[in-house]
Amino acid sequence: MIAQAGHERTMAGTGVASASIASSLGSPGASHVRARVDGVGMRIRRDGRDARLMNGMDSARLSRREKQPGHDRTFEESERNFIEVARACLDGDEYSVEASPKDLRDLFAGPEPPDLSSRQARPLGIELEAVIVSKTTGKRLYVEVKKQGDRGNAEERACKHHTVQFYKTMKERFGYDYHPVVTVFCEALAKNPRYTRKFPYYFERNQYFLWVDYDPELLCTFLTERCSEWLDH
C-alpha cells in the first residue's frame, strides 16, 4: 500500500521514495539493441535469361540498421521496470508480485481432435509478464506489459486478452467478478494519439493503463486501486 504525507508518496515497507525509484529505472527508449549483419547482402538481377546474385550490394545499408528484425529486446527493460515499481509500491505483507507466472500455460486445455499427434495435443495457454496475488484472499491480477515506438501494431495484438470469449475463459478458470488481466502500455503506446485514441473503444475502463514516462506514482495509484477494488474482497 502507499503511505501518503501531504502530496508526497512513499513506498510502504521499503522506505524508498518514488523519486529514487524513478532514478534507478532504465530508460528503454534511450537504449538500443544494435545488431550487425555478418553476411553478404544480395540483390537479384534478372535479365530475362538468368538470375544473378550480386554480392556485397546491400551489406553496408543493412549494417546501419539499428535493430534487425527479431533482435529488439528493449521490451524486457519495460517489464523489469514494472516488476521493480510494483514490488516497491505494494505492501509485501499483503501482496506478492511474481514475474512470468506459469500457471496459465495450460489455459486452453480443452478437448482436442483425436487425430492430433502427441506434440500437437499438448496443452496450450499464455504466459504474461506478471501476476499480483493477495496473500489474504488468494485472488490474482495478471499484467501484460506492452511497449512500442511510433510504428507497429502492439495495441492490436494486446486485444486478444480482452475479447468477449477470453473474458469467459478466464471466468471459467477463476470465477472472479472482474476480468483478472490488465494491459500496461509504455512509451509511444502511452502517449501517441494514434494509439491512445483507440483504447477506449478496444478495452474496458480499468483493464488498461497508460504508463506515461514510466512515472512510478502513476503506476502505484493504478495498482493500489485495482488491488483494493478487486483483490481485497
Mean pLDDT of 37-63: 42
Mean pLDDT of 73-102: 95
Do the Cβ atoms of 82 and 184 come closer than 8 Å? yes
Of 5-9, 58-62, 147-151, give the lowest mean pLDDT range. Answer: 5-9
pLDDT digits (tens, 9 = 90+) for 204-220: 999 999 999 999 999 99
Grid cell in block for residue 211? 504508463
Mean pLDDT of 6-27: 45
Residue from 229, 233, 189, 222 nearest 2 by CA: 222
φ, ψ at 54 (rounded to 5°): -95, 100
CATH, domain 73-233, list 1.10.15.40, 1.25.10.10, 3.40.580.10, 2.60.40.10:
3.40.580.10
Query: In whole angstroms, what is the distance from residue 96 CA to residue 190 CA?
Result: 26
Contacts of 90 (CB under 8 A, 6+ apart): 1, 97, 132, 223, 224, 227
pTM of the model: 0.70
Contacts of 76 (CB under 8 A, 6+ apart): none
- Is residue 70 over pLDDT 60? no
**183 falls in which pLDDT band (50, 70, 90)?**
very high
H or E element that contains 99: strand 95-99
Domains of the chain: which residue ranges? 34-72, 73-233
pLDDT digits (tens, 9 = 90+) for 90-130: 999 999 999 999 999 999 987 777 787 877 878 899 999 99
